[in-house]
Amino acid sequence: MVVIAGLALAALTGTSWWLILPAIGGLLLLQYLFTRSSWLGATFREMGLRSGADIDQEKFALKALRGDFRDLPTIHEIENKDDIMRLEGEGGISLDPEEAKVDAKAVVRNALEAAKS
């Protein structure tokens, strides 16, 4: 946006000083291209602003803690034991129902830590 605004102002006013804006914007874009972090983004984070990805991650974690995903089917749910036994007899997975129970809060913590790194 800064690049387009600087070029438009330079074209409208005829003053070449407005070309400084696209040059700065281009340098910031090049820096982000090679480092995947930017000086401008770090400045905004220090000012207390969060990125859209940070906000989406927090929303997902809050939904998981609230229990919104509790009723979703998982691979750990055994609906038909005969099918599971037949699958295991054919060399498939072996699953103990008691070991399959997962603590939702621990899973959310692990997911948040993995997303941060």
Task: State the average pLDDT over residues 2-10.
Answer: 89
- For residue 22, what are the contacts with CB-CB under 8 A and spacing of at least 6? 2, 3, 4, 6, 7, 10
Distance of CA 49 to the CA centre of its chain: 16
pLDDT at 64: 87
Question: By C-alpha distance, which of 43, 1, 41 is closest to 24?
Answer: 1
| Residue 59 sits in the same domain as residue 33 | no
Same domain, yes or no: 8 and 28: yes
Cα first-last separation, the chain = 30
How many residues does this entry show for the chain?
A: 117
Tell me: do 66 and 40 sit in the same domain: no
Q: pLDDT band for position 56 (50/70/90)?
A: very high
The predicted model scores a pTM of: 0.42
**Are 82 and 45 in a shared domain?**
no
* Pair 43, 91 in one domain: no
Mean pLDDT over 6-23 rounds to: 90
One domain for residues 56 and 78: yes
Q: Are residues 58 and 108 in the same domain?
A: yes
Same domain, 66 and 78: yes
The one-character DSSP state at 71 is T
Number of domains in the chain: 2
1-29 average pLDDT score: 89
pLDDT of residue 36: 79
Are 36 and 55 contained in the same domain?
no
pLDDT(7) > 80: yes
Range of the domain at 85: 50-117
Question: What would the pLDDT profile of 58-116 be if each residue is shown by its tens digit?
Answer: 999 998 888 887 776 665 556 666 666 666 666 555 555 555 566 778 888 888 888 87
